[in-house]
Amino acid sequence: MEGSGEEELGTSQAHSQEGLRDVKGRYRALFNLVKENRDELMNLSSDHGLNEVMDEASGLYSHAGASAQIQALDAQLLVVITDLLQEKASQLFVEGNAFDSSAFAEHLLNFMGFNRLEDEDEENGVATNGRLPQDAWLRVAERAQCCFKTAPTFHYMMGSFVAEPPPKQRVERQKKAPTKEAQRTMPAQLKQMEESHQEATEKEVERILGFLTSYHAEDPTSPISYYEFVIDPTSFSHTVENMFHTSFLLRDGMARMYLDANKLPCIAPVTSGETDKAESAIRKQCIMSISMQSWKDLIEAFEITAPMIPANSQNVE
């Protein structure tokens, strides 16, 4: 049974190869036919030759199963036929140049039923008046109807042409220029606010320096932890303000920071004997940031229960 199946498969493949060769041969025959009968196929009075070639090629293409080789042959034949049709169309255009418009107009008038009156110009012998019947153009339309497909329906490309009034343009009001009195008052107000803010910052820095100095004087040998000094366990915003104001102490050389034996930051005031050394030493600045979670973790790690810098009563609303 297995042997008979293989034989049938081999036989079908042989038949398919033989059919493919036959289709290729018929395509070559079409190429030779077009080449040998080129002048006859280019005759404007007959189109049967090219139509027959195209019909036969279509049958071969559908019968061969559209293999890659057949597709290539069909494409080549289509290119040859297209070139012939292009040359044929150019001949039609050349003959169209000999078109007699007067004869066509006379033939059109006769077809439309133009009624020439008897009164003619005696000198030229030409009818001076004439009349077309009411259905003259209808006759032309009915005659031309068979040459065209149905007319496309009319539609708007951008919707209906409903006229709408244009939107009213807003007239922007011009802002009034500040008067001379306002121009004089505004800088004075800003300057006063800036001076008051700077004065409040300086007072808060001096207040924090007083706390740092008093803590250091109580026990000069015991280091003051930086985090225990600036953190307020009851207020995150006050902690941030303490860090901000303490930075001015470090910047101006009124306090210094160092690391203890556990590599933790400590802070201490700068005494009068250390002022000259602090001025001559190279200062280094860094940016410290703190988040709400870090603030909570530091309170838990250092077991901070009360702030070392009490909130200023003047700043509490």
- How far is the C-alpha of 310 from the C-alpha of 296, rounded, in Å? 18
- How far is the C-alpha of 219 from the C-alpha of 194, rounded, in Å? 38
Q: What is the pLDDT of residues 101-121, one digit of tens each?
A: 788 888 888 888 887 764 454
**pLDDT at residue 3, as a whole number:** 46
Query: In the numeric block, which tokens belong to residue 140?
Result: 């032309």
- How far is the C-alpha of 56 from the C-alpha of 41, rounded, in Å? 15
Compare 45 and 33 and report the one with higher pLDDT: 33
**pLDDT at residue 1, as a whole number:** 44
Residues 6+ apart with CB under 8 A from 158: none
Compare 125 and 53 and report the one with higher pLDDT: 53
User: E strands within the chain?
Assistant: 115-116, 130-131, 224-225, 255-259, 265-269
**pLDDT at residue 24, as a whole number:** 81
Q: Is pLDDT at 317 greater than 70 in this prediction?
A: no
Classified by CATH at the fold level, domain 202-302 comes out as Arc Repressor Mutant, subunit A (1.10.10)
Q: Is pLDDT at 30 greater than 70 in this prediction?
A: yes
Residues 6+ apart with CB under 8 A from 136: 112, 113, 114
Q: Of 173-177, 179-183, 204-208, 313-317, where does mean pLDDT reach its minimum?
A: 313-317
| Displacement of CA 243 from its chain's centroid (Å) | 47
Matching residue, tokens 């042997």: 3
What's the whole-number average pLDDT of the chain?
A: 75
Question: 3-class secondary structure for 58-118?
Answer: HHHHHHCCCCHHHHHHHHHHHHHHHHHHHHHHHHHHHHHCCCCHHHHHHHHHHHHCCEECC
Query: In the numeric block, which tokens belong to residue 306?
Result: 């009360």
- Give residue 71's pLDDT band: very low, low, confident or very high (50, 70, 90): confident
Q: Cβ atoms within 10 A of the Cβ of 240, count?
A: 15
Mean pLDDT of 125-134: 66
Mean pLDDT of 241-267: 88
| Euclidean distance between the first and the last CA atom of the chain, given in angstroms as a whole number | 104
Q: Is pLDDT at 20 greater than 70 in this prediction?
A: yes
Compare 176 and 221 and report the one with higher pLDDT: 221
